[in-house]
Amino acid sequence: MKNQISNFACAIFSLIFFFNAESAVLVVNNNLNGPGQFTNIQVAIDSATAGDTIYVSPSPSNYTDGDGVFMVTKRLTFIGAGMRPGEKKDNAALSRIGSRFDVTTTAANGTVWTGLYFAGIGNAINVYSAAVSNCQVLRNWFDGGSSHIHFNSSSFSGWLIANNFISANCGESIRLNNNTVTNFIIQNNVLCEISGCAISLITNFGNAANCIVSNNVFYGQSNDQAFAGCNNMLVENNIFHTISPSGLTNSSINNNITFGTSQNALPYGSNNGLNNVANTDPQLTTFSASTFSPFQNFQPAGGPARTGAVGGGQMGVYGGTFNWNNSAVPAIPVIKRLSITSGASVPAGGSINIEVISTKQN
């Protein structure tokens, strides 16, 4: 218990230093006697002010709401423990989300979700009835379920979806309903399909502009495909292992590698592109196409996937702008040492000196 409280305190101090001093850090903790102001995420959302951060403490129990929905009606940052917190010698439990987030208003523009574990939830981040823009989905684990990031209506722009492990079960991973979509970046994610239901992972980007799909790893079943109904995209530096890159039209497809798919040759159809590698093993370091876990090593050990990306870098999640982090913890500072230098006691009204040494997490 002492170690858990100490780790929790370090996390909170780190958040306070990292975020704007004018915003608040609200802590949700559903552990018995766990430190925090709230036990329910929706109550924390309702209590928060736009710009606040909600830290979701790790727990063996899912965070849920009575009607199965967390309503996000303001700009917030949600931070969990990450996919693999034990690698940083923190509490190894995940921040387990058991209800979906519904985003219903442009007042939520700029919202961030990072370090959360979504436990088999359909429409886990469900955006509808508003042109919600400039949001980020970073370093989360979507485990099972389908339509994990779902856009229902209107137009959307400025979304960054990066460093996530997205495991689909008979349904799409990122779905638009042919809305107008601009300035989307889907980069450095691992997207897989576990059931062989012959589905597509990124779907219905039919009215897209300035949408980039880069440095991702796609894998799963041979009858699945990466895209459906996607138009006018830039697709580069991806690894397509067993999942076909079919489903694109009028797109630029450059410096990708395919292996064991039903559409190994790139580009195809109305698409254009250069420097793609067909039906060649990407030589992922520690990898099985039948293991659906973020704990594999998706880095190419050699061959064209190691050096064949645009500019000579790596294809897949270890190249590109948002380089994959094996521990997948949120990129916030962590306190390494905290000491009180004022002496054994401080008189009433006196001052206390605290020395803090922290490091950033990449």
pLDDT for 346 equals 73
If pLDDT is split at 50, 70 and 90, which confidence band does 348 have? confident
pLDDT in tens, 128-137: 866 899 999 9
Q: Which CATH number does the domain housing residue 240 bear? A: 2.160.20
Helices (H), 216-256: none
For 121-147, letters b (16+ CB in 10 Å) and e give: bebbbbbeebbbbbbbbbbbbbbbbbb
Could you tell me if residue 357 is inside a domain? no
pLDDT in tens, 245-258: 999 999 999 999 99
Could you tell me if residue 35 is inside a domain? yes
pLDDT for 233 equals 97
Kindly report the backbone phi and psi dihedral angles of residue 12, in degrees, each rounded to the nearest multiple of 5, phi listed first: -70, -45
Output the CA torsion sign for 32, 36, 37, 39.
negative
Could you tell me if residue 59 is inside a domain? yes
Could you tell me if residue 338 is inside a domain? no
pLDDT for 66 equals 86
- Between 85-89, 158-162, 284-288, 307-311, the lowest mean confidence (pLDDT) is in 85-89
Rounded Cα gap, residues 92 and 37, in angstroms:
22
Q: Which are the contacts of 123, defined by CB distance < 8 A and separation ≥ 6? A: 100, 147, 148, 150
- Residue keyed to tokens 């009204």: 349
Kindly report the backbone phi and psi dihedral angles of residue 102, in degrees, each rounded to the nearest multiple of 5, phi listed first: -100, 125
pLDDT for 18 equals 47
Angle value at C-alpha 104, between 98 and 109, nearest 5 degrees:
100
Q: Domain range for residue 56?
A: 2-333
pLDDT for 325 equals 77
Q: Which are the contacts of 288, defined by CB distance < 8 A and separation ≥ 6? A: 296
Q: Is the pLDDT of residue 7 over 70?
A: no
Could you tell me if residue 93 is inside a domain? yes
3-class secondary-structure state, position 46: helix
Helices (H), 22-165: 41-47
Mean pLDDT value across the chain: 87
Could you tell me if residue 360 is inside a domain? no
3-class secondary-structure state, position 346: coil
- CB-side neighbour CA atoms (13 Å) of 198: 2
pLDDT in tens, 210-263: 999 999 999 998 889 999 999 999 999 999 999 999 999 999 999 999 999 999
pTM: 0.88
Could you tell me if residue 104 is inside a domain? yes
pLDDT for 37 equals 92
Helices (H), the chain: 2-18, 41-47, 304-307
pLDDT in tens, 77-127: 999 988 876 554 444 689 999 999 999 899 999 999 999 999 999 999 999
Rounded Cα gap, residues 329 and 13, in angstroms:
16
Could you tell me if residue 362 is inside a domain? no
pLDDT for 85 equals 64
Amino acid at 6: S
Specify the number of domains making up the chain. 1
Percent of the chain with pLDDT over 90: 65
Tell me if 141 sits within 8 A of 118, measured CB to CB: yes
DSSP annotation of 138: E
